[in-house]
Amino acid sequence: MKYKNPKYRKRRNTFPLEISCGNCKTPMVIYAKGGKGNLIKLQVPRIIASEVDLEKHEGSLLCSNCKEELARKGTYDDNVTYWIIRGKVNSKRVNNYSC
């Protein structure tokens, strides 16, 4: 990942998830996921690392390789949040991710 998020704060009961483009499989984001539910959004303080700086990024998150639209920028609890477009990303758990 090109960008390590300085605003990331480690939280308990989360695990790193690699979010990749569902179309071409390019990894885009490492995200600290909590709970068992489906991944529906990417909150910036939970992003460990990503291919682009998602806080400053404007507009939708596009795959860096094939330009597929993966998530739309919005807010949640006053944090910049990317709402995942259903069916556009793959995610898999990664063990011991280190930046």
The residue ranges that bind Zn ion (CB under 5 A) are: 21, 23-24, 26, 63, 65-66, 68
- Would you call 52 exposed, middle or buried from its count of C-beta atoms within 10 A (0-12, 13-18, 19+)? middle
Cβ proximity to Zn ion, 64 vs 79, nearer residue: 64
Cβ proximity to Zn ion, 7 vs 66, nearer residue: 66
Residue with tokens 């989360």: 14
- Distance in Å, CB of 97 to Zn ion, minimum: 21
- Distance in Å, CB of 24 to Zn ion, minimum: 3
Cβ proximity to Zn ion, 24 vs 39, nearer residue: 24
- Distance in Å, CB of 44 to Zn ion, minimum: 21
Q: How far apart are CA 61 and CA 5, in angstroms?
A: 16
- Cα distances (Å, whole numbers) of residue 38 to 7, 29, 32, 74: 23, 16, 13, 18
